[in-house]
Amino acid sequence: MSNAANISLGRETLSGTVAKIVMALAGFVGSIVFARVLGPTMFGGVYLLLGLVRIVDRPMSGWAAAGKKRLSESDNLRNEALGANLLFNTLWIIVVTIGILLFAKSLREYTGLLAAPLLLILLLSSESVFITLERLVQARGRISTAVWLDTVRSYLTLGLQLLLVIAGLGAVGMIVGLAGASLATLPIVVFYLSARPRTPSKELLRRYWRFAKYSIPSDALGTIYDRLDILLLGAVLTPTVAGYYEAAFKLTIPAIFIAEVAGSGLMAKTSAISARGGNIHLDIENTISFTSLIAIPICFGTLVFADEIIVTAYGGAFAAAAPLLIALAIYRVIRTQSGPLLQAVNGLDRPDISMRLSAIAVVVNIVGGIGLILWIGPVGVVVSTIAAESIRYVGAALLLKQELTTINLIPHSLLEQVGAGLAMFIIVTSIQSFIQINSWVYLALIIGLGGFTYFLFLFAVSSKFRMTLQSAVPSVKIV
């Protein structure tokens, strides 16, 4: 029997999004402090290393995706699922460690960090293991719980990183702090999983492999694609430019909070419902109606105040990141639609489609990214990513239209959000000429005014927005 089929996507998404916002505060404070202390070059080196970790741990993540799929179908498998994940993680870490030691010199040169090989092994054995087990918690229908666990880990990470950086460990302190917090949080994840590792049966491993043979390459391609921008900038240009990119990247992360939480729940729910022959098109429509809710105002806001936001947050040394901020905000809007659609595709047991779309996106991004970097500079890599993400969106949409002929992939609620964003843009642009933004106070005021305008307009014109709020918070009278 599956717990995932009974997920309340509205409540889980609301709780998970609140957790994401709380978590983002820690990440935002940390990024500002560490960017200013380390400078663009060392700050960029840290995130080049983190980007490499995200690539080499993809088999672990793809195997965990198979575990999430199978556990969402039957909650009785959690002991064997935990055992299967831990077994695969251990074997993969051993394999990767050998490779890291062989290419230790290249890792040092690429990141500019002398301890890069050891730090990579440390992250793989801590943070990557945490992420894979967290997916099993999601598979049990505990979507928001998994996000809150990650939030707890983020604050532990920030505390440890601050202590270690103040102690003089610099970039190494940032990595060790992340690894230490991940290890400290692992027992809590296992507690919520309510499982003890058991040797998986051959039949379960075969079922894992039927999904993992697509989810592993798909996850690898997807992550290469996700972090390709910063990796290309580090390879074609310099770690300093990668630091600019990461600063802009951090500022746009809130745009995808709803899409990440809702998409994760959507995958588990569509998997459970489709496994018993149920109808899922309404769940998909309701999800994508609001996954761009935060991304749209962020996009319009960066069009007005990109320079002010970057300089106020990170200082004048990061001023060159402003064009990257605008381009990334546009990309996030597309991603908030494509991400949940791809999760729905996986829930329909079609990881092969996700893999093919990710492969196409990677090729487009590499070829286009290198060419556009050389032609128009760093922002070219994000322009290429926008094109690649559009391809992924169209591919997922076509499949879902083929499988679910009555589905509406451009809900009216989404158009209402664009209208609210335009209203916000007009009002904030009109006020801009009267206010000089030279401090956090003025920046917070203008952002607050923009956000108030956006949500007030949306609340007034969108009955579905009001109804969704009511269903997510039934104890509060809204409509």
Give me the pLDDT at residue 208, please.
Answer: 82
Which pLDDT band holds residue 478 (cuts at 50, 70, 90)? low
Confidence class for position 422, pLDDT limits 50, 70, 90: very high
Question: Does the pLDDT at position 402 exceed 50?
Answer: yes
pLDDT at 33: 79
Which residue do the tokens 């999004």 mark? 17
pLDDT of residue 16: 59
**Closest alpha carbon to 389 in 295, 293, 297, 303:** 295
pLDDT for the residue 4: 45
CA angle 363, 364, 366 (to 5 degrees): 65
Instruction: Give exposure, 1-23, as e/b (b: 16+ Cβ within 10 Å).
Output: ebbbbebbbbbbbbbbbbbbeeb
CA–chain centroid gap for 434, Å, is 36
* Dist CA 332 CA 176 (whole Å): 30
Q: Answer whether 474's CB lies under 8 Å from 432's CB.
A: no
pLDDT tens per residue, range 48-68? 888 788 888 888 888 888 877
Question: Stretch 93-109: mean pLDDT, rounded?
Answer: 89
The pLDDT of residue 8 is above 60 = no
Per-residue confidence band for 112, with pLDDT thresholds at 50, 70 and 90: confident
CA distance 335 to 60: 23
Provide the CB-side half-sphere exposure for 386 (13 A, CA).
15
Range of weakest confidence among 255-264, 349-358, 377-386, 411-420: 255-264
Please state which of the ranges 7-11, 193-197, 234-238, 244-248 shows the lowest mean pLDDT: 7-11
Exposed / middle / buried, residue 403 (Cβ in 10 Å: 0-12, 13-18, 19+): middle
What is the average per-residue pLDDT within 386-393? 93
For every residue of 27-66, DSSP letters joined together read HHHHHHHHHHHHHHHHHHHHHHHHHHHHHHTHHHHHHHHH
Euclidean distance between CA atoms 418 and 75, whole angstroms: 40
State yes or no: pLDDT of 1 exceeds 50: no
Lowest mean pLDDT among 113-117, 179-183, 439-443: 439-443
CA dist., res. 192 & res. 381, Å (int): 40
What's the rounded mean pLDDT across residues 328-355? 86
pLDDT value at 105 more than 70: yes
Report the pLDDT value the prediction gives residue 334, as an integer from 0 to 100: 94
- At 5, the pLDDT band (50, 70, 90 cuts) reads very low
Buried b / exposed e across 431-454, counting CB within 10 Å, b at 16+? eeeeeebeeeeebeebbeebbebb
CB 253 within 8 A of CB 20: no
What's the whole-number mean pLDDT along residues 224-239?
A: 74
